[in-house]
Every structure is written in C-alpha cells, then in structure tokens.
A and B are shown apart, each in its own frame.
Chain A
Amino acid sequence: MTTTSEAPTAQAAAPQPKAKKSGGSLGRYIAVRALLIIPTVFILVTAVFLLMRSTGDPITAAQGGRLPADQLAERIHAAGYDRPLLVQYLEYLGNILHGDFGTTLSDHRPITEVVTTFGAATLELSAYALIIAFAVGIPLGRIAAFRRDRGADAGLRIFAILAYATPVFFAGLMLKLVFSVWLDVLPVNGRASTRAELQLARVDNPTGIYLIDAFKTGDPAVIGDVLQHAILPALALGLLTAGVFLRVVRTNVISTFGAGYVDAARSRGVPERRLLRKHAYRPALIPIITVVGLQIALLLSGAVLTETTFEWKGLGFQLGQYLQARDFVAVQGIVALLAVVVALTNFIVDIIAALIDPRVRY
C-alpha cells in the first residue's frame, strides 16, 4: 500500500546510478545481481531477528501472565531462550541456511510448511489481482497519455489517485457491502463454499490453487463457485494496483514521446498516430517490468490486508491469526521466509528486465 506515488520513468529504471554507462555483459550483471541477494536477505533476517527479540523472548510474550513464573522459566530454558542473544542469533542463521525457519509456538508447525500450505492461496489471489491490474491499468494508462490533459486524462488520473488513496481493506468492505450484502449476488468471504471445499479436498495431489483444483474435479459448479469467491478480493486488490500501472504507463509514454528518436522519426515523416502507437508506447512498457517487481512487495502487503478483509485463508490471513495469538516465533519465521521469497522474485524480475532492456545492466 505504499511507495507507489513516484512512478519510475524509463531513465529511473536502472537500479543504481553507475548503470548509466550502458550495456555491460549480461552474465556479469546476473552474477552481481545474484550476489546482492545475500546481503539483502542477511540484512532483513538480522533486522527482523533483532527487532523481534529486542523486547524479550517469545514465550513470555505468548504466555506471559498465564503461567506461573517457575513454569515459564522452565519453558524458556527448554526452548533455549535464556542463552546469550548472540548464540541464539548464530543458531538462527545456521538453521536458516539449512532451510529451517523455526516452528510455530501455537500449533507446532514448521514455518516452511505453513508458508507452502497457505502460500498457494496468496499466490492465487496475487495472480488474479495482477491480471486485473494489467488488463485495466495498461490500456487506461495508454488512453490517459494519448489524451493528455483532456477530460479523459483528468478522469483517469483522478481514478489513479483515488485507487492509491483508498486502503484496500476499505475498498474490500465497500465492495462486500454492495455486492454481497445489498445486492446479494456474490459470496461474503472465504475461498469457496463448504460444499465446494469438500469436493476440492478430494482432489488427488491438490495444488492449493483452488482454480486448478476445481478444474481437476471437472465439476463446473465448483469452478463457478471458486471464481465467484475470487471476484471481490481480486477486484479490490487489482484495481488499486491498476492505478499504479496507469500512472507508470502514462508518465512513460509522455516522456518517451519527447525523446530524440521520436523527433527523428517525425522528421522522417512517420505519421503522428504511428509515432504514439509504435515509437512512444512500446518502449514505455519496459519500466512496467521493474514496477511489477516493486509491486510484488506491495502486493504482499496488500494481500495481508485483503485476505484479512475477506477471510481468504492465505499467508496474510494466517499471519493475522498468529499475530492475534501473539505467536511471535511464527511471525518472525514467516516474515524472514518472505524476505527470501521477495529477494528471489526481485532477482528474477531484474534479470527479465535486463534481458529486455540492455540499459539496465551494470
């Protein structure tokens, strides 16, 4: 829900200033970029560990006041939380290197299992939202740029600003109020109705992505049910993201339209419409890839809020549950694992951007 206002322009797409000397070798770029993942993950994991532990151990946080002091001390000792912080930190780092992000306090599940189980639902929601954002944001951004400063542009810009100004949970609540309660045409919350959930549970090798599982059941009623449940959460999250895409496309089309090669094409007699459609529009789409990379972080923030609004049982919803249970081991583990996921996704997005646009390379 943050950081969306400054739309990166084509020039700003390069991650670091030194990228100005254009076109390094792709191999070197990938290597440097891959190495950068290590400090990024290390910094975030360390920060999360220190912050979460700066105020005490998780067992006191979860059980404090509910257990007698001696039992509490015993549990803290058993879990090793009475050792020096540095020892615990090194052990934590070691475990992470082995892919062990800890075990939740409240229901004793490994964090990696929690993330893989509930991650599918978050992935599904984010995918729907991204599809809506692309389908709505890019064409509208193009219209806004082509009709710059006319009525359509003004309206679209106001839409983009409103999309940014509306918290995703408020949008979700209002959609719910109108479509689920007043009009009563869509389900209030959840990912599927109970009947469909039962059918989905019987699928062989369930992916956890309900739409795929629904196709596996082969029952159109189940597919319809799953889609109906997805409409409102996907709309809430997708429309807000569409606003970001709209602005990026608009700004970039306008700025590429002022570029030298467009002038050159104009002087060769290329018709104005073609200039807009081919010369200015296409290169303006490149920064979208970088923006999508940034959106992944934003989508995750948004997904936590959207899932809580719609009781969409994904990672964000589950995180909210752990927060309420004051299970800070779970919170720490999920956030740390997400740091790795975000770093890897950003890496992949940057590589794709570099493949398409040589200016991005170091």
Chain B
Amino acid sequence: MPSTASSPRASRWARLPIVSQLRQSIGLQRGMLVAGLVLTVIFLVTALLAPVLAPYGYAELRDENGLFGATQAPSSAHLLGTTQGGYDVLSRLIWGSRTALLVILVAVAASIVVGVALGLIAGYFGGWLDRVLVVIADAIYAFPSLLLAIVLAIAINHGQSGMWPGILAAALSITVIYIPQYLRVTRAEVVRIKSEAFVESARVIGAGHVRIMTRHVLRNSLRTLPLILTLNASEAILTLAGLGFLGFGIEPSAAAEWGYDLNKAVGDVTSGIWWTALFPGLAIVLVVLGLTLVGESLNDLSDPRLRRRAAGAEPVEDLLAPASTTQEASA
C-alpha cells in the first residue's frame, strides 16, 4: 500500500513498492529487509552475469591442462573443488543461479496469470463455478506438493530432460501447486471489493463485466500480490531443488542445477567429501533466505499489527503501558 504509506508529495521514487517500505521500516525490520534485498540482488546479478563470473562452463570437464579430475579438494585452480563427475563446483554454482532464476520467472509468471484470472472469475461471478474452483484448489492445496510435482514432471517429460524441457517441467509443476494460492487470495479480495460502492456505481453507469473486472476490481485486489510473489519464488527454488534431489533434475550437460548436484553429493558425504554438498546447499539456503526475508518484511510492514512503530517502546512493555505512549511515526 505505497499510497497510504507516503505523503502525496513524496517523489515517484519514494512511492515505488520496495523503496517506500524501506523508508517505512526501522530497526530490526529494516535490517531484515536490507539483508534480504542484498542477498536477492547478489542472486540476480550472479544469474545475469554467469558467463562472465564463472571460471568454466557448467558442463566443462577439462581445460588446457587436461581433465579437472573427480572430487578434487578446493584449490587455487578450483576454488570450491570439483564434483564426482569432474565438474568445477564454483562454475556449476554460478550457472545454477541462472537455472533457478529462469524457473522462478516462468513459474511465478504462469501461476500469477492463471491463478489471478481464475480467482477473479471465481470471486466476481460466484455461483457453482466458484464452488467447483475452490474445491479443486483446496484438493490440490492439501496434497503433498512434491508428490504432485513429481507426477507433473513425469507427465511433462517422463522425468528426464535437457535444459528447457527441464526448466519448463519444474516451472509448470510449481505453477500447478501455486495456482490455488493465487486463486484463493485473489478471490478473497475480489469478493470483498465486489460489494464496495465504487463497483456498484460503475455498474450503475453501465460498465460491462470485463471493464468492471479489469479496471475496478482487479486493480484493487492486487495489494497482497508482491508478498505472495516473493514467498512463492522461494518455494519454487525449494521445489526445484527437491525434484532435482530425487533425480528429476536437469541433465548436468544441459544446465547446472543445485538439487541435482546435491543428489550426486550424497555418496560423497559418507566418505567425508564436504565441498560437493556444502556449496550447492548453501546457495539454495542463501537465495531462499534472501527472498523470504524480503517477503516477510513486506508482510510485516503491510500488517499494522506486526509493524513496529518508530516511536514505540519495547513491545512487551509497549503492551503493558497505556496505548497512548505508542505513536505512529510519520514516514
């Protein structure tokens, strides 16, 4: 809700979604948001600049001195060592961010478009269509998402693949899992907004369903979307890694994928080889952490009950003290 957060005179820059929240936040919350943003930016830059940053290709096995060799400990030639298959861990780490980003983009875009559209239709028209959609969404929502993703991955490419089929399989499996969430959230907002006076008046003027839905209802019901978006982006990475770990990853010659690398590292760990498991795992944790911190902070900032006030005392005392001591600081 950038418009309520900043004064009308605030510059265009200050009204941008994340910037306005950054200005609004203080203390621990600001720390979390900044940390999340830093991690996310590092992830994005790595993904975009992968060809420049990575010392080798993701499927490279040799340089001018011959083969890299399997499970070489970290050294100056291979900063993070090599894998059992003889790949350079650092290079696969960097290229892996690109795969992760592509999956996030496809999955989030597809589930938003489909989920929001279905939620809009279900909420706006109501009736049996609404009920059917909600029951289907609930059925999918209650089911173990990884199992569903496995089934979808099998359906899309029989479980094995090159880069694009692999990315699409992972992204679409994730899409199907998240459509119910977008549907529910959008539907709830639409049902609320539908009964507002301005929608009524648009109808009285004679606006058609499509115009009311897109101009009046949709625009007002996308408030919570940035939040779900960041959270789902992080869940998309976890699902991709889970699929990869179960052997549904993208072939190592087609693209780098962290979950697949972890799958190959299971045996290494038993023999004390730590670098093949630690680094891809850390990459997953840091990217998910970054996205989650951004999402969480946005959530807290958009919910006044959880927002910490700039002038507020320590909250437990804050609750002890009369309510008048807490004043909302003007942003």
Contacts and interface: CB of A to CB of B under 8 A. Distances in A.
Interface in A154-198: 154, 161-162, 164-167, 169-170, 173-174, 176-177, 180-182, 188-189
A341 B193 CA distance: 37
A257 interface: yes
A165 B145 contact: no
Interface stretch (A50-58, A86-94, A221-229, A354-362): A50-58
Contacts of A36: 135
Contact of A40 (B142, B234, B246): B142
Nearest to A334: B147
Contacts of B292: 5, 161, 164-165
A254 B269 contact: no
Contacts of B152: 51
B142 A174 contact: no
B55 interface: no
Contact of B28 (A149, A332, A338): A149
Contact of A320 (B247, B277, B299): B247
A264 B288 CA distance: 42
Nearest 7 pairs of A and B residues by beta carbon:
A170-B281, A301-B146, A165-B288, A51-B155, A300-B144, A148-B315, A40-B139
Nearest to B274: A177
B296 A297 contact: no
A324 B247 contact: yes
Interface of B: 27-28, 134-136, 138-148, 150-152, 154-156, 158-159, 177, 181, 188, 191, 228, 231, 234-235, 238-239, 241-242, 245-248, 259, 262, 265-266, 269-272, 274, 277-278, 281, 284-286, 288-289, 292-293, 295-296, 299, 305-306, 308, 314-316, 319-320
B276 to A, nearest CB: 10
A161 B146 CA distance: 20
A161 B191 CA distance: 32
A147 interface: yes
A48 interface: yes
Given A17-B188, A39-B135, A294-B142, A148 B316 contact: yes
Given A164-B288, A335-B147, 17 more contacts: A5-B296, A6-B299, A52-B151, A150-B314, A161-B289, A162-B289, A165-B288, A167-B281, A173-B265, A173-B269, A174-B281, A181-B270, A257-B319, A258-B305, A301-B147, A304-B144, A338-B144
Contacts of B277: 170, 173-174, 177
Given A3-B235, A5-B231, A40-B139, A170 B145 contact: no
A36 to B, nearest CB: 7
Given A51-B154, A55-B158, A173 B262 contact: yes
Given A36-B135, A43-B136, A338 B269 contact: no
A117 interface: no
A309 interface: yes
Name, among A170, A177, A258, A342, the residue most crowded by chain B CB atoms within 10 Å (CB to CB): A170
A146 B238 CA distance: 31
A285 interface: no
Interface string A341-357: 01100100000000000
A205 interface: no
Contacts of B134: 16
B289 A308 contact: no
A123 B147 CA distance: 17
A61 interface: yes
A320 B238 contact: no
A343 B141 CA distance: 11
A125 interface: no
B139 A167 contact: no
A2 B147 CA distance: 12
Interface of A: 1-3, 5-6, 15-17, 36, 39-40, 43-44, 47-48, 51-52, 54-55, 61, 146-150, 154, 161-162, 164-167, 169-170, 173-174, 176-177, 180-182, 188-189, 251, 254-255, 257-258, 272, 294, 297-298, 300-301, 304-305, 308-309, 319-320, 323-324, 326, 328, 331-332, 335, 338-339, 342-343, 346
A83 B308 CA distance: 64
A331 B270 contact: no
Name, among B138, B271, B299, B314, the residue most crowded by chain A CB atoms within 10 Å (CB to CB): B138
A96 B145 CA distance: 22
B144 A301 contact: yes
Nearest to A147: B316
A169 B188 contact: no
A182 B272 contact: yes
Contacts of A164: 288, 292
Contact of A272 (B143, B239, B319): B319
Contacts of A331: 150-151, 154
Contacts of A298: 144
A148 B307 CA distance: 11
Contacts of A343: 142
Contacts of A44: 139-140, 143
9 contacts: A5-B295, A17-B188, A44-B139, A51-B152, A150-B316, A167-B241, A167-B281, A177-B272, A323-B248
B245 A167 contact: yes
A293 to B, nearest CB: 8
A161 B134 CA distance: 30
Nearest to A339: B143
Contacts of B147: 300-301, 304, 319, 335, 338
B293 to A, nearest CB: 7
Contacts of A328: 154
Contacts of B320: 272
Contacts of B156: 55
Nearest to B224: A6
Given A43-B136, A55-B158, A2 B270 contact: no
Contacts of A323: 150, 159, 246-248
Contacts of B245: 167, 169, 305, 308
